Amino acid sequence: MEIAFGEKLWGVILAGSLFLAAGITLLMYYRLRSRDMLTGPRLRILMLLRFLSVFLVTFLLASPLVKSLRKITRPPQLLMAVDHSRSMNGLEENMARRDALLKLAQGLQEELNDRFEVIPYSFGAGVTPGLPTDFTDKRSDYSRMLQTVYDNHFNENIGALVIIGDGTHNQGENPLQQAERLPFPVYTLATGDTTPVTDARIVDLRVNRTAFAGNLFPLEADLRVTGTTPRSLLFSVSKGGRQVFSQMVNTRENAWFTTLEFTLPADGKGLQYYTATIESLPGEQNLNNNSWPFVINILENKQKILILSAGAHPDAGALKNALEQQVNYEVTLVTGDPYPSNFNDYNLIALNQMPTAAHSLRELLEDGGRTPVPLLVILGAATHLSQLNAMGLGITITPRAGDAEEAQMSPAEGYTPFTLSDDLRENLNRYPPLKVPFAAWEIDPSYQVLGFQRIRNLVTSRPLIATGSARGRKTGLIAGEGLWRWRLYDYTLGATHDHFNELCDKLVQYLALRDNEDRFIVSFKPVYAETDPVEMTAEVYNEAYELINSPEVTIQMTDSTGREFSYIFDRSQLFYRLDAGVLPPGRYAFTATTTTERETRTETGEFAVIPVNVELADLRADHGMLYRLSFETGGKFFTEKEAPRLAEVILHNSAIQTTSYFQSTLYELLNLRILFFLFLFLLSTEWFLRKFWGIY
C-alpha cells in the first residue's frame, strides 16, 4: 500500500499542516491559565490529542491518495453450446430422442461443474443463454454462435468451448473461418446419423423476389439424389395447381448433384405462388425436401432513373452499377449531348457534376415547373455552383478562395426519412473522404442531414449528404466527388458492395419511389420468411406535405383462413413502426387506417410468409465439419457414445488453469470512514479529559 498526493504542492501543505497544528496546540495550552492544575504527563496528553486532530484535518487538504495492489484470481470458465434446431430430433417428433439429448447436455454440465464454471448456450438461427428445452428451431447458424461466445467472453479466462450438435449448418458463414480467431480449444460432441439414405431432394432454389409483368424471370434449382441406382426423375414447377415447367433429370452415380437453370414467364400481378417439386424415390422416408414453395412479386413497371454526367466519370458508373443490382430500376446514363427531350419520363434524375458552365439545365427547370421531377445532386470539380444556386433547390453554396477539401462522413443522429443498417453506419465512418468545395453552405430548413462533413477528424455543421424539398421538388445532395472510392473500399471490407448498394438504393428509393401526393404510405416487404418478424413502417403527411406522427395508425391483417390480427403502429420520431412478430406461413392481406384533418385514409396491400424447411432438407449429420472445428482449434472430437470420455478429458486437461493478476486501485484517503471515527475520538477524548481534570 502506498500514499500519493493529488495536489502538486503537497509538500508545502504537509509542512504547513505540521506548523499549523503545532501553533494551535501551543496557543491553546502554553498560555492556558489553569495549566498549573495539570501535571506534566496530563498536559502532554492533551497537547498531543489537539495536535493530532488539527494535523489530521489540515493534512487531508493535500488530497492524499491510497494506492493498493490487489490479487484477483479467476477460475476457468467452460462454455457449452447445444444445437436446438429441428434436425437434432430426426425426421419425426421423437420425445424419447429429445429427452435423451437434454439428459446428455444436463449430465455433461453437472460433471464439468465440479471444476469449472459452466456457461450454457442454446443456438439455432440465434443464440440464447441456457440449455434448450426443445429442438424446434428452423435453422442452424454455427458461425453466429461462435461469434457470440467470442464477443460475450472476450478477454475472459475461458478454458474451452464444448459444442453438442450434428454439424449441419444452413445459415451464416462457414464456421471454420470464425473458429480461426478463437483463443480457446473447441471440443465437439457429435450427434445424429451420418449413414447415407435413399433421398431425392431440392437442396436450394434461387430466384429474385421481384419480377416485372411480361418479362421472364430466372430460377436456379440445386438437386441432389443419394442412395439409389441411376434413374430418371421428373422435376416440375406448378402455379395454382397448374404445371408451368417440367424437365426430366437423369441421375447417374450413387451420390448425384446437378443445378438446373431455367426461366418462367412473369404472368399475373402482385404476389404469385409457385411450388417446385422433384419426384420421390421408392422407399424414400424424408418427403419434406421434395418440394420447395416460393413467391414472386410481379410489378407492372420499373422506376426509370436518369443519370446526367458532365462527361464520363467513375462516380456515375458506381451509382449506375449499384442501382442496376435492384430489378425495379431501369437506369440510363447520359454523359453528353444529346440530352433526353422529355425529363418527365423519369422518376428521378441524378446530376453528376452538373449543371456546368455550358449546361444550365434550363429545360429541366421548365419541365419541373409543371411536374417537378426529384433530383439527386452530386457535386464535383465541374459543377458550376452559381448555376446550381440559381436552380432554386434550397441549396446555396458560396465558394471561397482555396482548393477543394477532403471530408469524410459523420452519420447524423435523428435522421428520419429512412434508416440505415448498423453495419452501413459503421462503414460510413471509415469510408475514404470525398472532395468537397471549400465554401460557405446554406440549405433550406426543410432538408435533413444524413451525414456531416468531418475534416481532419473535426465534425463540422456542413452537410455531406442531405435530403429535402423545395418548391415541391424532392432533392438529395451528395456534396462531393469520390463515390467510386466508397464502392471499392466497401469491397475491401467485406468482399461485397452490399453496403454501398444499400446506401444508393435507399437514397434513390426515398427520392423516386414515394409520391408526395399520397399523404399516407405504408412500406413493407412482399415476402417474409417464417423465421423473420413481419416489420412495417408508415408515414403520414399533413396538407403541407410535412411528416407528422400525431394521428394513430392501425392495421388489420387477415390470413388465408380468414383469421384477423389487429395492431397499432408505434411512433418513432416522425415515422411509425410495426413489429408484428413471427407469423405462420401463408398469404396475408392488410388494411391500414389513419385519420388526418377529419379525413380517414387507408392503405391496402398483401404479403406472403413462406415456410422454412432447410432443417428437414438434409437430416444427415456432418461430423466432418465438427472434426475439423476441433482439430483446427486444438480441441478433440467425440461421438455421442463417447460423452463420458469427453468430460474426463476436459477435467484432466492441465492446460486449463486458474489465472491470477494484480489490480491496482487508487482512492482518496478522505473517503475512509475510519478517519472520521479517529477524528471524533481525538476531539471527544480531549474534551472528556479536560472536563475530568477540571479545565473548563
Per-residue DSSP letters for 171-195? SSS-HHHHGGG-SS-EEEEE-S---
Cα 152 to Cα 86: distance, rounded to the nearest angstrom: 26
Compute the residue count for the chain: 696
pLDDT of residue 368: 43
In a domain, 660, yes or no: no
pLDDT of residue 371: 52
Give 586's strand partners.
609
Q: How far is CA 569 from CA 408, 418, 515, 540, 594, in A?
A: 36, 17, 21, 12, 10
Q: How far is CA 668 from CA 21, 67, 72, in A?
A: 22, 9, 22
Q: Give, for 598, the enclosing helix (H) or strand (E).
A: none
Q: Could you say which residues of the chain have pLDDT below 50?
A: 368-369, 515-516
In a domain, 656, yes or no: no
Do residue 168 and residue 81 come from a single domain? yes
In a domain, 22, yes or no: yes
Which residue range is the domain that position 288 belongs to? 199-296
CATH of the domain at 602: 2.60.40.10
In a domain, 615, yes or no: no
Cα 156 to Cα 119: distance, rounded to the nearest angstrom: 12
Do residue 292 and residue 391 come from a single domain? no
Cα 362 to Cα 57: distance, rounded to the nearest angstrom: 82
Do residue 102 and residue 182 come from a single domain? yes
The b-or-e profile of 446-465 (16+ CB within 10 A means b, else e) is: ebbbbbbbbbeeeeeebbbb
Do residue 324 and residue 425 come from a single domain? yes
Answer whether 271's CB lies under 8 Å from 526's CB. yes
Do residue 431 and residue 504 come from a single domain? yes
Do residue 19 and residue 133 come from a single domain? no
In a domain, 121, yes or no: yes
CATH of the domain at 393: 3.40.50.880
In a domain, 636, yes or no: yes
Do residue 348 and residue 250 come from a single domain? no
User: Nearest to residue 579, comparing CAs of 589, 568, 590?
Assistant: 568
Looking at the structure of the chain, the number of domains it has is: 5
Do residue 112 and residue 127 come from a single domain? yes
In a domain, 567, yes or no: yes
Q: How far is CA 76 from CA 119, 159, 245, 361, in A?
A: 11, 5, 60, 70
* Torsion of the alpha carbons at 238, 240, 244 and 249, rounded to the nearest 10: 10
Last residue of a domain, one of 296, 331, 365: 296
In a domain, 657, yes or no: no
Do residue 433 and residue 322 come from a single domain? yes
Last residue of a domain, one of 512, 546, 569: 512
Do residue 485 and residue 362 come from a single domain? yes
Do residue 370 and residue 224 come from a single domain? no
Main-chain phi, psi angles of 642, to 5 degrees: -95, 20
Do residue 45 and residue 59 come from a single domain? yes
Last residue of a domain, one of 463, 496, 512: 512
Q: In the structure grid, which three cell numbers stand for residue 8, read together?
A: 502538486
Q: What does DSSP assign to residue 91?
A: S
